[in-house]
Amino acid sequence: MSNKPAQKVLVVDDEEPILELLKYNLEKQGFDVRTATDGQIAVDIAKKFHPDLVLLDIMMPKVDGVEACRQLRAMPELVNTYIVFLTARAEEYSEADQTSRVNESHYSTIPKRQRQEKYFQSN
């Protein structure tokens, strides 16, 4: 068994089933996981948690993912944190242009609803 601390991941999405699915699978692989349901909560958690990776939904109520990313990138203690945007929007979306302006690590479109439905049908 390794003495190396677990990598920390912050998962941010306003859909609880998505949070549960990602948290479960990441913890199963040995990651230390925290979740947030909007961008402001994510920023507050990140200040104390200092994640190595943030999986960040773009479209959320209150503070969206793009604004949360801007706030996270402004924090010197998170300069080495990777941020991956996740969205269910498969078509070209204006946020893709916005995300490139906030120095994110990656932008990915994934069929969240489809993956969620498939997971819950098999369990």
- Domains of the chain and any CATH numbers: 8-116 (3.40.50.2300)
Encoding tokens for residue 108? 């990915």
**pTM for the complete prediction?**
0.77
Full pLDDT tens readout for the chain, 123 residues: 556 789 999 999 999 999 999 999 999 999 999 999 999 999 999 999 999 999 999 889 899 998 999 999 999 999 999 999 887 665 444 544 555 555 544 445 555 555 445 444 444
| Terminal-residue alpha carbon distance, the chain | 30
C-alpha–C-alpha distance, residues 43 and 29, integer Å: 24
